[in-house]
Structure 1
Amino acid sequence: MDTGPETGTGTSEQTTSQSARPGYKQLLRTADAWTFLLPGFAARQPFAMLTIGIVLLVQHTTGSYGSAGVVSAATGVSMALFAPQSGKLADRFGQGAVLLPGVLVHTAAIAALISLALAHAPLWALLAAAVPAGASVPQVGPMVRSRWAVKLNGSPLMSTAAAFESVTDEFTFVVGPVLATALCTSVHPAAGLVAEAALTLVGGLLFAAQRRTAPVPSRLAGGGTRHASALTVPGVRVLAIVFLGIGSVFGGMQVSLTAFTQAIGEPGINGLLYGTFAAGNMCAGVVCGAIAWKVTPQRRLLVAYPLLTLACSTLWAVHAVPLLGALGLLVGLCIAPSLITGYTLVESLVPAAARTEAFTWLTGAVALGQAAAATVSGQLADRFGASAGFLVPLGGTALALATLLTLRRRLSTTRQDG
C-alpha cells in the first residue's frame, strides 16, 4: 500500500480528492502541492533550453548543423541512458539524495562545454563534456509526477495531474526555447547555456529542500523487499517506444526550424516558430486536463497518435513561414493527448516503488528520440537543405505508431507489482 509521508492526513486528502469533480481547481487545492510545484517549475525550465542552447552555440563556433546535432545528440543519449538509473536511485534512496550531487555535476559539465566550444575545441572534446552534461540532467518532471501520485494515491484527479504536468512541461517549451534563442542571438552565443546552468542549480537545490512531500524511499518503506525494474512491465516498454516517436518530433523540429530560419535569413524568428509549436502542445494539454474523460486512456492514445503522425506528414513540403507556423501549431496540438495518456497509464501500470523510474524511462525515451532526431535532421539539413530535416518527425512517429498498433494489447491497466 503506497502512503505519503503525511500518513495522518493522507486518508482525508484522498477522500476529498475522490469526492471532487476532477479539475484544475480541485487539483491545486491539494495540501502542500505548491511547495513542490513552484521550485519544480524553476528546476525543469532548463530542460527546454539545453538542446537548443547547445545547437546554437556549437553551430556558431563550428559553422556546422551536423556537428551541433551530434553534440546535442550526445547530451540526449546520455540523459536517456542515465535518467532511468537516476529514477531508480530516487525511488530507493530519496529524491534529494540524487538531486544534490546531480545539479552540481550538471553545472560543472555545462561550464566545461561552454569553455571548450568558445575555445574551438575539436568535436571529440565537445562530446566528452556533453556526455556528463546529459547524464546529470535533473529528472525533476518525473519526481514531481511521483509526488502527485503520493498525494493523490489513486484519486480521479490523477489524470488531471498528468495533464497539468504535461501543460507545465509544454509551457517550459514555450518559454525555454524563446529565452535561450533570445539570449544566444542578442547577448552572447553562450548566454542560453549559462542561464540553463544557473536555473538548474538554483531550482534543483530549492526543489530538493522540499522533503516533506517527497515519496518515502523504498529502502525505508519496503523493509528490504527487492522490487523489479519498471521496464519489466510490458506496457512501459510499449509506451517508451511511443515516447521515442514523440521525442523525434521535438528534436526534428528544433534543428529543422533552426536551419530553416537561418536559410531564409531570419534566425530571430526561430524561437517564435518553436514557441508556437510548443504553445499548441500546451493549449491541447489544458483542454485534455479540463475534460472528465469517459474514454479509456488506451483508446485516447490510439486516436491521438495517428493524428500526430498525420500532422507531421506535410512539414517537409512547406516553405512559407506563416504556413509552417500553422502546421507547427497543429503538430503541437496533437502531441499533448499522447503525452498525457502515456503518463496517466503509468500510475495504473506500475507499482509505487518503481514509479519514478517508470516516469524517467518515458522522459528518457523522449530525450533519446530527440537526440537521434537532432542528429539525423542536422545531417539532412547540411546535405539536402533545411526542409529535408522535417522528414524525421514523420519517420519517427510512423514507426512508433506501427509498434503501438501491433502491441496495443500490452497496455493493460492490470498493475504488476513485480
Structure 2
Amino acid sequence: MFTHKGSFSFTAAGFLARLPLSMYGISTVVMIATVRGSYALAGLVAGASLFASVVLVPRISRLIDRHGQSRVAVPATVFSVVFSVLQVVCVRYDAADWTLFATAVLSATAPNVGGMVRARWAETLKDEPDAMHTANALEQVLDEAGFILGPILSVALCTALFPEAGVLGASILTLGGTLLLTVQRSTEPPVHEPDAGQASSPLRNRGLQIMILTFLLTGAVFGSLELTTVAYTEYLGHASSSGWALALLAFGSAVAGLAFGGLTVTVRQSTQFLIGVAAMAVLMLPLLVADGLTSLAVLMFVAGMATAPTMITGMTLVQQLVPPAQINEGMALAVTGLLGGNALGSAVAGRVVEWSGAHAGYRIPCAAAALALVAVLAGMRMLTSQVAAVTGDADGTGERQVVEQR
C-alpha cells in the first residue's frame, strides 16, 4: 500500500487528525461530570456538539469537493479549535450552562478528515479497484486503533492532570494533524466537476438515505456505550478504567477488521452489510448481564467484533453510491449520521443512567443495534438494486469485494 508516493505521509497525518474523534466525547463527559457533577448535562453538551456536526460537516465537505481540501479544511479547523478552548475556559471559570452548549455547537466545524484521507486513496488508487478495497480495510483498522488509543489517552489526561486536559489534548491533535495533512498538496485530490444532470445533493440518493439511517442508529450504539461505560465503571469504583473498557471494544473491532481484511468475499456488498449489522445486534445483548469489571471487559471485546466488518462494507457501499464530485460530502453525510446517532445515544443514555442506574444504560445500545437491523432489512431491496444499477450489474452477482490486508 505504501509504495505509492506520499501515501504513508497522508495516512499518518490523517490518523493524528482523526484520533481526537474518539477523544472529544469522553473528554467532554469526564470534564463536565467532574466539574459540574451531572452526567445528564455532560451527555447533553456532548450531544449538542455532535448534533451540530451533523448539520455543519456535510456543508464543509461540500465546500471541500468544490474548492479543495487545503483551502477549506484549515480555516474550518482553526475555528473549531478556538471554540473548543473557549469551552474549557467556560467550564474552568464556572460560566453559565448555556455557554457550554454555545461553544459545543460552534466547535463542530472540524472537517471529516477520514473522508479526506479516503478521497486521497480513491484518487491514488483510481485504477486499482482491489487495492482500493484494501485501503478501505486499512482505514477502518486505523479508525479502530484511534478508538483504542483515544479513550485511554483522554481518561489518562483528565485523571492524571486536570479535568479539562482531555479536550485541550484533542484540540492540539486536531489542529496539528490537519495542518500536516493539508500541506501535502501533491496527493490532494483535484476538484471534480459534477456530471450533467447530477443531483445537487447526495441526500437525494435513496440508497445513501438508507445508509445514513443505519449509521445514525449505529452511532447511537457507540454514544450510549461510551457514556454508560463511563458511568458504570465509576459506579464499580474504577472510574479510571473506563478508557480501557472502551479501548477493548475498539480492540475487538480492530482484530475483526484485520481478519476480515485478509478474506476474499464473493457475497454482494449489501448482503455483507446486512450480516454485519445483524452480528452487531446479537453481540450487544450479552452486555445486559455484565456484573463487574472483568465480565464487562470481556463482553466489550466481544461486542466490538462486528463493528469493523460492518463499517468496511458500509463505507465501500457509500463510495459506490456517490459520484466522484460528491465523494467528500457523501462520506461526510455517512460519518455525521454516526455522529448524530452518537449524540442521540449519549443524551438518552445519560437520562437512563440518572433515572434507573448505571447498568440500565446498556439497554440503549442493544435497542439501537436492533433498530439498525430493522432499518437494513426494510431497505435491503432498494439498497441492492441501486448499487447494482450504479455498478452496471443488473442481478448483483457480478458485484464482488476483494479485501486484502497486506
TM-score band, normalised by shorter chain: over 0.9
Is 1:137 matched with 2:107?
Answer: no
Output the TM-score relative to the length of structure 2: 0.92
Aligned to 1:239: 211
Using the TM superposition, give the Cα deviation of residue 53 of structure 1 relative to its aligned residue in structure 2, in angstroms: 0.7
Distance 1:259 1:29, change over 3 A: same
**CA distance in 2 between partners of 1:51 and 1:114 (Å):** 14
Residue matched to 2:29: 55
Query: 2:124 maps to what in 1?
Result: 151
Provide TM-score, normalisation by structure 1: 0.90
Answering whether residue 65 of structure 2 is matched by residue 67 of structure 1, we say no
Matching residue within 44, 52, 61 for 1:87: 61
Offset at 1:227?
Answer: 5.1
1:249 to 201, 206, 221: 221
Once residues 346 and 389 of structure 1 are traced to their aligned partners in structure 2, the CA distance between those partners, rounded to angstroms, is: 31
1:179 to 134, 146, 153: 153
The answer to whether the aligner puts 1:169 opposite 2:143 as a matched pair is yes
Q: Shift of the alpha carbon at 1:147?
A: 1.1
CA distance 1:271–1:350, shift in 2 (3 Å)? same
Q: String of CA shifts for 1:172-228, please: whole Å, max 9, x gaps.
A: 00001100000001111111111111111111111111122111123xx45998653
Cα deviation 1:262-295 (Å, max 9, x = unaligned): 1111111111100001111111111122212222
CA contact (8 A) 2:231 2:353 kept: yes
Letter in 2 for 1:36: F
Report deviation, 1:314.
3.0
Aligned partner of 1:46 among 5, 10, 20: 20
Q: Deviations over 1:106-129 (max 9, x none)?
A: 111111100101112222111011
Q: Which of the numbers 180, 200, 208 marks the counterpart of 1:206?
A: 180
After TM superposition, give the deviation of residue 32 of structure 1 in Å: 2.4
The verdict on how the C-alpha distance between 1:144 and 1:190 changes in structure 2, with shifts beyond 3 A counting, is same
Distance verdict in 2 for CA 1:416–1:74, change over 3 Å? farther
Report the identity percentage: 31
C-alpha distance in structure 2 between counterparts of 1:395 and 1:388, whole Å: 12
Which amino acid counterpart does residue 237 of structure 1 have in structure 2?
A: Q
Report 1:8-407 matches (<5 A). 27-134=1-108, 136-153=109-126, 155-218=129-192, 221=193, 228-407=200-379
Distance 1:120 1:261 in 2: 26
How many Å apart are 1:307 and its aligned residue?
1.1
Contact 1:260/1:386, CA 8 A, preserved across alignment? yes
What is the CA distance between 1:316 and its match in structure 2?
2.7
Shift of 1:374: 0.5
Instruction: Return the letter of the residue paired with 1:376.
Output: V
Take 1:31 and 1:317, find their aligned partners in 2: how far apart are those partners?
50
Letter in 1 for 2:278: P
| 8 A Cα contact 1:227 1:353, kept in partner | no
Aligned residues: 388
* Structure-2 change in CA distance of 1:123 and 1:317 (3 Å): farther
SS of the residue corresponding to residue 188 of structure 1 reads coil
Is it true that 1:415 corresponds to 2:390 in the alignment? yes
Give the drift of 1:137: 2.0
Report how far residue 296 of structure 1 moved.
Answer: 1.8
Distance 1:257 1:156 in 2: 38
Q: Which runs of 5+ in 2 are unaligned?
A: 393-406
Q: How far apart, CA to CA, are the structure 2 residues paired with 1:276 and 1:337?
A: 16
Counterparts of 1:145 and 1:416 in 2: how far apart (Å)?
20
Tell me the secondary structure at the aligned position of residue 322 of structure 1.
helix
Structure-2 separation of matches of 1:139 and 1:359: 8
Cα distance in 2 for partners of 1:416, 1:299 equals 15
Letter in 2 for 1:242: T
The match for 1:5 is none
Take 2:200 and 2:138, find their aligned partners in 1: how far apart are those partners? 29
Q: Structure 1 stretches (4+) deviating beyond 6 angstroms? A: 223-226
* Aligned-partner residue type, residue 316 of structure 2: T
Q: Distance in 1 between matches of 2:92 and 2:391?
A: 50
Is the partner of 1:405 in helix, strand or coil? helix
* Separation of aligned partners in 1, 2:278 and 2:89: 43
CA contact (8 A) 1:39 1:206 kept: yes
Q: Tell me, yes or no, if the aligned pair for 2:252 and 2:305 is still in contact at 8 Å.
A: yes
Counterpart CA distance in 2 for 1:185 and 1:145 is 34
Separation (CA, whole Å) in 1 of partners of 2:97 and 2:366? 29
Corresponding letter in the other structure for 1:401: L
Q: Are 2:210 and 2:375, in contact at CA under 8 Å, matched by a contact in 1?
A: yes
Alpha-carbon separation, structure 2, partners of 1:169 and 1:183: 21
Counterpart AA for 1:342: G
